Amino acid sequence: MKSLSTATRLAITVAALGYFVDVYDLILFNVVRWESLADLGLDKAAATTTGVWLLNLQLIGMLVGGVMWGVLGDLRGRLSVLFGSIILYSVANLLNAGVGATSGPLAFMGSFDAITSYGVLRFVAGVGLAGELGAGVTLVAELTSRERRGIAVTIIGAVGVVGAVVAGFVGELAGWRMAYAIGGVMGLALLALRVGVVESGMFAALSRESSGVTRGLIPIIRSPRLAMRLLKIVLVGMPIWFTLAVLVGLAPKIAESMGVTPTPKPGTLVALYYCGAIFGDLSSGFLSQWLKSRTRAMGVFMAGTAVGAALVLTVGSQSAFWYGAATVVMGFFSGYWIVVITTASELFGTNVRATVTTMTPNLIRVSAVPVTMAFTFLTGSTGDVWAAALTGACCFALAAVALRTLPEPFGRDLDFTEE
């Protein structure tokens, strides 16, 4: 990476740190939602219902933001989206620390209904969180040579995933208000690095020379070929969020069904999962460079994720320790997430690249909704363990079929447009 220009290194640094704060906030809500809702006066039943509502609002915000920021990235530039999204989710995070407060610098938030404010801020945060990764990956991919592109994006992913581990520990140790405030301050501090980050030359050239080229979402809507390619890359990433939403997010319920006592703590499992994912991100990225193939690397790690999920549902039945150990394995192999995002940026032309690269991670995240619905539907007739196994089998089967028909993008020149 020594031959990279200072501007490119700075872009990688900002994108990586932005993704760190992005993942921190994304995971933080799952870590602190029970504590925060209890502190706001909700009993366990009300907290369960409200927690699902807040999570859905955040996911809806990410879906809206995925489209909005992606289109803006292709119309207005990658750089404006990168910093605009960071500002939005950082301010939402900071204000979230003051929900229902009666004293302190954020006491003015106490004049609003606490739960309504929480919901609005989770939606706004979701919109903001949707833009950073796609904009950062698109910018770095277009600033970096084809030989170093995969390594540069891998660094972004590895640094970002550390944010989940930090969220797990901060959420447990600092209290929910301080944890939200820390996230907001970290994001706003990144604005100091804005000076020196340059816009993508490919985007600038497109804006100057190809004003007649249609950009954003419209070319994808008009082209069944492009829409199907986007669907395939989303399906390839879906098993990752099956493991997170079901095997980690619903771990207490699944572990209890397996007879595990005491059941593993969600915050601990999140930290273990992402500890594995840090090394998985690095390994999958470097493997794709060594094999000179994104699709083969994703295939290897997808198979490993399936093995890790099977271990959770078998070996994990012995104790909370073994459930956690299997979660580390599953988290490691789920690290092909960053190769999925890299592939999305390489498969599409400059006029739609930001739209696709921004929409892809958010569509994968939102896939947790039908996945958890399928799990819930099957639970009534098969029980929790078999419901998880059958839901996972469907996710992995769809992903394998999609991957088999996905074009190989490794080493592709990104300076092209879609008709």
Q: Tell me the three-class secondary structure of the chain, residue by residue.
A: CCCCCHHHHHHHHHHHHHHHHHHHHHHHHHHHHHHHHHHCCCCHHHHHHHHHHHHHHHHHHHHHHHHHHHHHHHHCCHHHHHHHHHHHHHHHHHHHCCCCCCCCCCHHHHHCCHHHHHHHHHHHHHHHHHHHHHHHHHHHHHHCCCCCHHHHHHHHHHHHHHHHHHHHHHHHHCCHHHHHHHHHHHHHHHHHHCCCCCCCHHHHHHHHHCCCCCCCCHHHHHCHHHHHHHHHHHHHHHHHHHHHHHHHCCHHHHHHHCCCCCCCCHHHHHHHHHHHHHHHHHHHHHHHHHHCCHHHHHHHHHHHHHHHHHHHHHHHHCCHHHHHHHHHHHHHHHHHHHHHHHHHHHHCCCCCHHHHHHHHHHHHHHCHHHHHHHHHHHHHHHCHHHHHHHHHHHHHHHHHHHHHCCCCCCCCCCCCCCC
* Cα–Cα distance for residue pair 345/342, rounded to 1 Å: 5
| Number of structural domains found in the chain | 1
* Residue 6 confidence (pLDDT): 74
Question: What domain range includes position 135?
Answer: 7-404
* Cα–Cα distance for residue pair 284/290, rounded to 1 Å: 10
252 lies in some domain: yes
Whole-Å CA distances, 278 to 106, 245, 300, 375, 411: 34, 18, 17, 27, 24
| CATH assignment of the domain containing 235 | 1.20.1250.20
Single-letter residue type at 80 = S
* Residue 226 confidence (pLDDT): 92
91 lies in some domain: yes
Tokens of 169: 């520990």
417 lies in some domain: no
Tens-digit pLDDT string for the chain (419 aa): 556 677 788 888 888 888 898 889 888 887 888 788 888 888 877 877 788 788 888 888 988 998 898 888 888 877 788 888 888 999 999 999 998 888 888 888 888 888 999 999 999 999 998 888 888 888 888 888 877 888 888 888 888 888 888 887 888 788 889 999 999 999 888 877 766 676 666 656 666 665 566 777 888 888 899 999 999 999 999 999 999 888 987 888 888 889 888 888 777 888 889 889 889 988 999 999 999 999 999 999 999 999 999 999 999 989 989 999 999 999 999 999 989 999 998 998 888 888 888 889 889 988 888 888 888 888 888 888 999 999 999 999 999 999 999 999 888 877 777 77
411 lies in some domain: no
Tokens of 339: 């190769």
* Cα–Cα distance for residue pair 154/148, rounded to 1 Å: 10
Tokens of 338: 């960053």
Whole-Å CA distances, 415 to 63, 200, 212, 360, 374: 28, 11, 16, 20, 41
User: Please, is 6 exposed, middle or buried when counting C-beta atoms within 10 Å of its C-beta (0-12, 13-18, 19+)?
Assistant: exposed
Tokens of 273: 């999962």
Single-letter residue type at 154 = T
393 lies in some domain: yes
11 lies in some domain: yes
* Residue 206 confidence (pLDDT): 62
* Residue 328 confidence (pLDDT): 95
Single-letter residue type at 277 = A
Q: From the CB of residue 44, how many other CB atoms can be counted at a distance below 10 Å?
A: 9
* Residue 205 confidence (pLDDT): 64
For residues 386 and 378, is the Cβ–Cβ distance under 8 A?
yes
* Residue 339 confidence (pLDDT): 93
* Cα–Cα distance for residue pair 380/357, rounded to 1 Å: 37
Query: Which positions ≥6 away from 225 have C-beta within 8 Å?
Result: none
* Cα–Cα distance for residue pair 356/39, rounded to 1 Å: 40
Tell me if the pTM is above 0.85.
no
